[in-house]
Structure 1
Amino acid sequence: MDPSTSPTSIAPTRRTFIRGIAAAGASTAAAASLGKAGLLAPATAHAHPQHSPNDFSDFRALAPSSADLFEVPEGYRADVLIGWGDPFADDDGATLRYGFNNDFLAYFPLRGDDEGLIFVNHEYPAPFFQHGNVDGARKTLEQVRIEQESVGNSIVHIKRGRDDVWQVVSPSSYNRRVTAHTTPLTFTGPLAANSAYPGIGTVAPGSLANCSGGITPWGTALSCEENYQDYGTTGGYGWVRPLLDTDDYVNGDGSSAARPAKFGWVCEHDPYDPSFTGAKHTALGRFRHENTAFRARPNKPFVLYMGDDRNDGAVYKFVSELPYRPGRRSENLRILASGKLYVARWEPDGRRRFDAAGTLLTATEGTGWWREVTEDELVDTHVRIASNVGAAEWTAHYATNRPEDVEVGEDGSVWIALTNNSGVNDVHGSIRRFVEHQNDATAVGEGAPFEWEDYAAGGRHDGAGTGEEGFSSPDNLVFDKAGNLWIVTDISSGTLNDPTRPQAFHANNAVFMIPAGQEAGAATAYRFANMPVQSEGTGPYFTPDEQTLFVNVQHPGENSSGDPSSTASYSSYWPKGSKTTERNPTKPIPATVAITKVRRGGAPGSRIVPAPPLPPRDTTPPQLTLDVRERISLDSFLHSGLTVRLHVDEAATLDVRLRATIRGGRRRGWRWGWGERRIEVDTARARTDAAGGVIVTLRARGRERLLLRLARRADAQLDVQAADRARNVTTRGARIVLT
C-alpha cells in the first residue's frame, strides 16, 4: 500500500514542508518519538536523538534569572532584529512601522536559508507606552488610531549576512503591514454573507488580537485572533462610537446573531504576494484561537488542530471537505472555506484538577473522541457548545486547562500546551499529547477514540541541577528536526518573581528544551534562554537549516505604572537598557531576537541583550624592565647567543629585535674595508598571561652569522616592545657592543 494513502502512515505535518522546503511549523521537523529512553550529559542539555543533532541540540543550561535582560548560553549570540516602531519600507518607499507586542512568528524562505520573510503577529496594544492614556472612556480618535495601527501583522524581508547576523531588507516589495482598520479581510465559509448571521457579512475592517498562528503546506500564514472581546468596550480599549463611525469592534457574545462578529477568527495571508487579500475562515469557528497545527496527506482531507486559550477552553479539529493536492495552490487556497469542525471530548476528565494542597486528583491518561460542531455553534463556539451540552457535561469532559499551543509531531501525535487553570488549582500547567484512532487524523465520533496522556507536568523539581529546576505555564511549543521539544513559558507578569507564589523558583519567563527520547512523566526541561522583566518569549521558530532560532520578546515592563512620560515609571528598560542596573533608562520595546551559534572565525556578538557595557579602556602602558649584558665578545655571541631577561607587570605581548652595524672584515689574516653595514640579526616574540618574567635568547644565523664572523667589531641595538591587551605599548632599548 502507498504509505501516503494509508490511514496509519506517518503523515506530513506543518513542520516538514512549506513550498517544498523543510521549513518550520511553529518550527521545523517534529519529534519522531519522545517516548523512548535517551541519554543526557550531566547539567547539559545534550540530546542523543535518532535524527541528526542541530546547532541547538547541545548547550549548557542557564540558571533562572530575574534580571532585566535577554540571555542565552555560552557559545550563542543574541541580536535584536527589529522592534516596535522600527521603520521599514515597501518598494514604493512608503515607511511602515513594526507593530507592538509581537507574538507568532513564521519564517518563509526566499533564496535558500539565508534570505526570507518573517510573518509576525502583533497581539495587542499598550496605551501606557504608546500615548499614555489607559482610560478607554477618555481616548481621542488619534489615540485609537495609534493602537489600531500597532496591531495586526508585519511581513518583513530579512537577510543573513556572512557574519551570521540578520538584517532587515528595506525597501522591499515584500514588506507590508496588516492593521486593525486599514487592511480589509474577506470572510469565507458557511457564515459569510449568510443572512442568518448579519453581524459577520462579507468583509472585516482588518485584524486584531493576533496571538499565535501557523503555516500551511501551500505557503500561506494563518494568524489567530484571540482576545477580541477586549476592544469594543469603554472598559477595554474603547474602540466604540461615537469616537468611531462603526460598531465592528464590539464583541458579539452569541446572544444575538445580529451583533457584530468581525473578529475572533483564523485569518489566512500570503506573505509572498503583496496583493493577496486576507481571508477569515468561518468554518474554523469563532473562539479565542491560540494557534493552528496541521496534518496533510496528498489527495486526502486536510486536518487543522486548534486550542481555545481560556480557562476551561476546549481543543478543536477541522477536517476539510476538499482534499489537499500538492502543487495545486489555487485549489488549496479554498481548503479552509469548507469542512467540518469538531471539539474534543475527554475521558475520564479533560482537566488536571488539584486540591488546595496541590495534590493531583485526576487521571494522567485516558481516551476521548471528536464531537461535531454544528453550524449554529460556529459563531460563538465556546458559549454555544457549552450551552447545548450543558454546563456539567462541558466542565467534566470538554473543558481543559487553557489549551494554548497545539503542535503535531513527526509521528502524527498531537501535543498541547495546557498553560494553567486557577479554577482547578492547576498552577503550573502541563504538556499533553494524544494519538488519533489508528493514527488517522480524520477519525471522528465515539467509535474512533483517541488515546491521551499528560507527557510533562509543570512545577518545581527539587534537587535538580542548574537549569533543570522545572518550568511553569507552558505556552508556545516547537519541535526541531532532532526531535527536541522547545517550550516558552507564560507566567503572568503580576506573578513573576513574587516570593509568596509557587512560581517563585522560576524567576523570569524562559525558553526550555526537552531533549528527544525522554519518557512521559519523567521528562526534564533544560533552560535555554531567559526573558527580561515582565515579559514572555513567544513565536519560537527555526530557519530551515536550523542555524537560527527566532524568539519574540513580548510586553517587557508590562506592569509599568505612574507617569507615562517618566522613565522612573517603567519596570523594564529592555532592550536598550536594564532596569536591574539602572542602565540607560528608556521605554521598553517588544522586539524580535535572532539567536545563532557562534562559529569559529565568525562574529562573537553577545549572548546578552543589552550587551554588557565595555569596561573602561586601560590607558596605562605595561611596565617593562630588561636585563642584558652591554658588552660581549663576538665569539661568545656566535657560540651562545645573547640572553635578554624581561619583566612586565601585566599580561603582554613582547617583540624583541636585535640589529647590528658592522665595520670592515677579514679573510685568512688579510684585512679589507667595506665601511659600515647594517644587518638584521634576530627577532623573537613572547607572550605572558600575567605579570612575570621572560627569558629570550637571540642568535645570528645564515648570512648574518657569516658577516659577523668576518667583522672586526659590531655595535648592536636591542629594541623591545611590550603591548598589553588594551594595545597600550611600552618600548625599551639597549646598546650592545660585540667585540
Structure 2
Amino acid sequence: MENPSSRRVLPLIEAPHVGGRSAMTCRFRCGNACDHEVPNTTGNEYFGDLAVRAVSRRGALRAGALGALVVGAGTAGVAAAVPAAAEPDASTLSAGQHGKSGLAFAPVAPNRQDALVVADGYESAVVVRWGDPVTQDAPAFDFDNQTAEAQAKQFGYNCDYVTFFPMGPNRGLLWVNHEYTNEALMFRGYTDGNAAPVEQIKIALAAHGGSVVEIRKNGSSGRWELFTHGPRRYNRRITAQTEFAVSGPAAGSALLKTAADPSGRTVYGMLNNCSGGTTPWGTVLTCEENWNQYFVGGNGVPEAQKPYLARYGVSTTTAIPSGSRRFDRVEERFDLARHPQEINRFGWVVEIDPFDPSSTPVKRTALGRFAHEAATTTLAKDGRLVVYMGDDGRFEYLYKFVSAERYIEGFDRHNRTLLDEGTLYVAKFTGDSPAAEIDGSGKLPSDGAFDGSGTWIPLVTGSRSHVPGMTAEEVLVYTRVAADKVGATKMDRPEDVERSPVTGAVYVVLTNNSNRAAADVDEANPRIGNKHGHIVELLESKDDAGATAFAWSIPLVCGDPNDPSTYFAGFDKTKVSPISCPDNITFDAEGNLWIATDGNALAANDGLFAVPLRGPERGRVRQFLTVPCGAETCGPLIAPDQRSVFVAVQHPGEIEGATPDNPASRWPDGAQPRPSVVVSWHRQGKKIGS
C-alpha cells in the first residue's frame, strides 16, 4: 500500500448533504429520496405508544426459552448449528461474560485522505475495478472511448455487495453487485439524461447489475487477484438488459404483465442492486433497492395505481423527475405512462447461479417487493430455510421469510424450490420501558438498556393472504402497503441483517433517519434526528429462527463517543473509535462484528470497523480502515481462511461539483476515480484483526 502521507489531502467541494452524504450521491444513488416526502404516511403505533402496555407484560417473552439461535451450514454462508445457551434476559441478550475477541490492531484515526488507509501491519490492493475485463473477449478499458458493447463485458460501476464461493484454498469466484451509475463522473460534459447522448444511456444500462469473476490467491499472502491468464469459464456480466425469469406466487400475476410480456414471467434487467446474501446450495441472492428512480411518466398511470406508486417513492405528479437518467429514451418500458406495470417487475430478491454462466437469473416473488437490503439465509430448527431482509427507507420495516419445506443437503433440485413457497413476515417491536423514559435524547431508561420483545406478523403464506382486503399477489407486489395495514413497526432505515456464527444472535443495521421527530421516538429508535444510526440485536424464541417471537436490545448507538446520546454496549467510550451511519456488516470466526459505514456524518471518510460482541471488550469499536474521499465502504467480506478481508469502495470522488476534468479523487490509479473491490491482509499472514 502506498504511504498515505504522500497523498494530497483534498478538501471537500461542498458541505455534507443529508447526514454525511454528498448531494451528488443523493442524486444518482436514490434520486434525492431524502428531499422528498416520506413515502410511509401510515399512522402505525410507535414503541412509545406501546411502552406502558409493554411494562405489564414484559416478562411474557422472557418466560420462554431463549438462547443461542440455530444457524445453518454450508460453504454458501449458512453456518453450523450452535449449542443452546442459558435463557437470557432481553436486556443482556448476548453480553457474554467470557470469550476473547482476538482483535489487537491499533485503530486508524478518522481522516479525509484520498487513499485507502489500513491499520498498521496490514497491506491492501485492488482486486478489480470499474472497466476491468470480465469476459474473455472484453476489451481494455478506455475512459474516453467507452461503448455499451464493451461495458457489457467489463466490470460494472459502483460495486456494492461482495460474496465469495471457494473452489479450493487458492481459487474462487467473487460475486459483486453494481448498484448504480454516476454519469457525471463517468462521462465528460454530462449534464442530465435529457441531453445525454443515447450511447451514454446504453453504457449506464450495461454498467448496472453484477459481475462474477474468478480470483486467485497470490502466493502465501492474503492478497487475491483477478485471474486473467487462462480461460475464464465462470466469468459473467449481468446487466439491466439481461433476461430474468419470475417465480413464486406472483409470477404470472396481472400486476406483472406487460405488452412485451403478457405472461408476466420474463423480465429484462435488475436495477440498483445493493446488498444480498447466499443460499446453502451455493447461489447468490442479490437485492434490488432504489429501483423507483429509474422510471418516468408516473403522472400518466391509471388513478387507482397512483397511491401504490407513491408508497414506493415514485412521483405521480411529474412526468420526468429532476435528475432522471432517462432510460426511457433507449427503452420505452421505463415510461410508466406507456407501460404502467413495468415498475412492478423490479424491487425483488434475485437468485443467480455463479457456477453456471448460461443460467437464467430468477426474481423470487415470495420474498416480497420493496427496497431490498440484504437477504441473509439460515435454517430454522426443523430445517426450513429462513431469509432476513431490510427495507432501506426512512420509517420502513424489517422482514423475514420462512420456507414451507425443509432444506435437504445435496438435494439441489428440491432446494431450489424453497424460495417459491413459504410465509413472509414483518416485524413488530415493543419496548419494555415507560414512555416517559424514552425522551429522544438517547439517554438509557432506568433498567439500563433499550430493549423489549417483538412479534413476526404473517403477511402471506403461499397463495393465501393474511392481510384483510389484499390478495396474496397484491401483498407480494405491494408489500409495503400490506405491512402498513398490519401495524408493523417503523424503523430508521433497516439495511443489512446478519447472524452471528458463534451466538446465533441476529443483528439489524439501522443506518440513520434524520426525519425522526420527538413525537416519533420509541425504545428501538431512541433518538430525535438520528443522523448516525444504531444496531439492534435479536434473539428468537426457543432457539428457533422459524419462531414468531423474539427479544431485542440495542448494543450500539453510533456517533461521536463524546456525545452523551451514544452507547457502546457499556464499554468505556474514551477507548472507542467514532462511528457514523452503519450500513453493511459481517462476522469473523470469533464472532466479532465488522461494520462498513455509508455517509459518515462526523466530517470524516467512511470506513470499516470491528467490535467484539462478547466478553470484557463487548462494545469496543475500532476502525480498521478508511476509504478515499467521497467514497462509501461496502461489502465487507472476510475470506474463509480469515486471513483476508474484501471491501467494495463505492463512488470514490462523488462530491458535488466534481467532474472528470476536475475530479475530487484520483483513487485508485492517479487518474479518474474508479469504484473498485480491494483486499487487505496482514503482512505476517495473521488472521484479520490480529
Taking structure 1 as the reference length, the TM-score comes to 0.67
Runs of 5+ unmatched residues, structure 2: 1-64, 86-92, 140-148, 297-319, 460-464, 466-471, 517-528, 564-571
How far residue 443 of structure 1 moved from its aligned partner, in angstroms, is 1.8
Native 8 Å contact 1:231 1:249 kept in 2: no
| Cross-structure match for 2:558 | 458
Q: Is this contact kept in 2: 1:402–1:418, CA < 8 A?
A: yes
Query: Which residue among 416, 421, 425 is the counterpart of 1:342?
Result: 425
Distance in 2 between residues matched to 1:291 and 1:352, nearest whole Å: 34
Whether contact under 8 Å (1:155, 1:176) holds in the other structure is yes
Tell me whether 1:130 sits opposite 2:230 in the alignment: no
Mapped contact 1:11–1:295 kept (Cα < 8 A)? no
Considering only aligned residues, what root-mean-square deviation do their CA atoms show, in Å?
3.5
Question: Which residue number in structure 2 is paired with residue 193 of structure 1?
Answer: 252
Q: CA deviation at 1:419?
A: 0.8
Cα deviations by residue, 1:38-76 (Å, 9 ceiling, x for unpaired): 6xxxxxxxx824xxx5xxx33111111111111111111
Measured after TM superposition, the shift of residue 587 of structure 1 is 1.4
- What is the DSSP-based 3-state SS (H/G/I as helix, E as strand, rest coil) of the residue aligned with 2:614? coil
- Residue 169 (structure 1) shift: 1.3
Residues 151-179 of structure 1, C-alpha deviation per residue, up to 9 Å, x if partnerless?
A: 10000000012152322113410111000
Question: SS in structure 2 opposite 1:17?
Answer: coil
Could you tell me how far apart the structure 2 residues matched to 1:401 and 1:462 are?
22
Tell me whether 1:158 sits opposite 2:206 in the alignment: no
Work out the CA distance in 1 between the residues paired with 2:635 and 2:173: 14
The answer on whether the counterparts of 2:594 and 2:611 sit within 8 Å (CA) in structure 1 is: yes
Corresponding residue of 2:606: 509
For the residue of structure 1 that corresponds to 2:393, the secondary structure is coil
From 457, 464, 470, the equivalent of 2:578 is 470
Question: For residues 359-438 of structure 1, what are the structure 2 equivalents within 5 Å?
Answer: 364-373=450-459, 374=465, 375=472, 376-386=474-484, 388-389=485-486, 393=487, 398-410=489-501, 411-424=503-516, 425-438=529-542
- Residues 574-614 of structure 1: CA deviation (Å, up to 9, x unaligned): 1123xxxxxxxx211111111111127x9xxxx9xxxxxxx
1:539–1:551 Cα contact (<8 Å) kept? yes
Q: Is the 8 A contact 1:240 1:246 kept in 2?
A: no
Matches within 5 A, 1:657-676: none
Counterpart of 2:5? none
**SS across alignment from 2:184:** helix
Distance 1:260 1:290 in 2: 18
Give the equivalent residue in structure 1 for 2:593: 485
Identify the residue that residue 573 of structure 1 maps to in structure 2: 666
Q: Does 1:81 align with 2:135?
A: no
Query: Which letter does structure 2 place at the counterpart of 1:300?
Result: G
Matches within 5 A, 1:57-456: 57-90=103-136, 96-111=153-168, 113-132=169-188, 133-162=190-219, 164=221, 165-170=223-228, 171-181=231-241, 183-198=242-257, 201-233=264-296, 234-235=320-321, 238=324, 240=326, 243-248=329-334, 250=336, 258=341, 260-296=343-379, 300-348=383-431, 364-373=450-459, 374=465, 375=472, 376-386=474-484, 388-389=485-486, 393=487, 398-410=489-501, 411-424=503-516, 425-444=529-548, 449-456=549-556
Q: Encode CA deviations 1:611-638: one digit per residue, 9 max, x unaligned.
A: xxxxxxxxxxxxxxxxxxxxxxxxxxxx
2: distance between equivalents of 1:277 and 1:173?
16
Which of the pair is proportionally richer in helix? 2
What are the Cα deviations for residues 322-345 of structure 1, in whole angstroms up to 9, with x where unaligned?
Answer: 211111111111111111111001
Q: Distance in 1 between matches of 2:212 and 2:654?
A: 25
Whole-Å Cα distance in 2 between the matches of residues 75 and 30 of structure 1?
35
User: What is the percent sequence identity of the aligned residues?
Assistant: 34
**How far did residue 402 of structure 1 move?**
0.6
Alignment check: 8 A CA contact 2:432 2:451 kept: no
Q: 1:48 to 1:284 in 2, by over 3 A?
A: same
| Matched position secondary structure for 2:492 | coil
CA gap of 1:358–1:75, structure 2 versus 1, over 3 A, is same
Task: Give the counterpart letter for 2:193 in structure 1.
Answer: G
Checking the alignment, whether the CA contact within 8 Å between 1:314 and 1:399 is kept in structure 2 is: yes
CA distance in 2 between counterparts of 1:482 and 1:404 reads 23
- 3-state SS of 2:477 partner: coil
Classify the secondary structure of the residue corresponding to 1:214. Answer: strand
Give the CA deviation at 1:482.
Answer: 1.0
In the alignment of these two chains, the number of paired residues is 538
Aligned counterparts of 1:107 and 1:24: Cα–Cα separation in 2: 13
For 1:442, give the aligned amino acid.
G
Larger Rg: 1
**TM-score, length of structure 2 as denominator length:** 0.72
Comparing 546-555 with 432-441, which one deviates more in the overlay? 432-441
What's the counterpart of residue 674 of structure 2? 589
The secondary structure found in structure 2 opposite 1:570 is coil
Secondary structure at the counterpart of residue 396 of structure 2: coil
CA contact (8 A) 1:213 1:292 kept: yes
SS for the counterpart of 1:383 is helix
Q: Distance in 1 between matches of 2:249 and 2:437?
A: 37
Q: 1:583 maps to which residue?
A: none
What is the aligned partner in structure 2 of residue 615 from structure 1?
Answer: none
Pair 273,258 (structure 1): closer, same or farther in 2 beyond 3 Å = closer
Distance 1:11 1:31, change over 3 A: closer
Match of residue 526 from structure 2: none
By relative contact order (CA 8 Å, sep 6+), the higher-ranking structure is 2
The alpha carbon displacement at 1:30 in A equals 13
- Letter paired with 1:532: P
Structure 2 residue identity aligned to 1:385: A
Query: How far off its partner does 1:354 sit?
Result: 7.9
Offset from partner CA, 1:629-667 (integer Å, 9 cap, x none): xxxxxxxxxxxxxxxxxxxxxxxxxxxxxxxxxxxxxxx
> Which residue of structure 1 lines up, in the alignment, with residue 14 of structure 2?
none
Q: Deviations over 1:509-541 (max 9, x none)?
A: 111100242479x61201111111111111111
- Identify the structure with the greater strand proportion: 1
Question: Secondary structure in 2 aligned to 1:87?
Answer: coil
Is 2:657 the partner of 1:561? yes
CA distance in 2, matches of 1:29, 1:571: 47
Which AA in structure 1 matches 2:100? H
Which ranges of structure 1 fall in alignment gaps of 5 or more residues?
A: 1-6, 39-46, 496-502, 578-585, 608-739
Tell me how far 1:137 sits from its aligned partner. 2.4
1:347 is paired with a residue whose SS is strand
Which piece of structure 1 moves more, 455-464 or 58-67?
455-464
Moved more, 97-106 or 195-204: 195-204
* 1:551 has 2:651 as partner: no
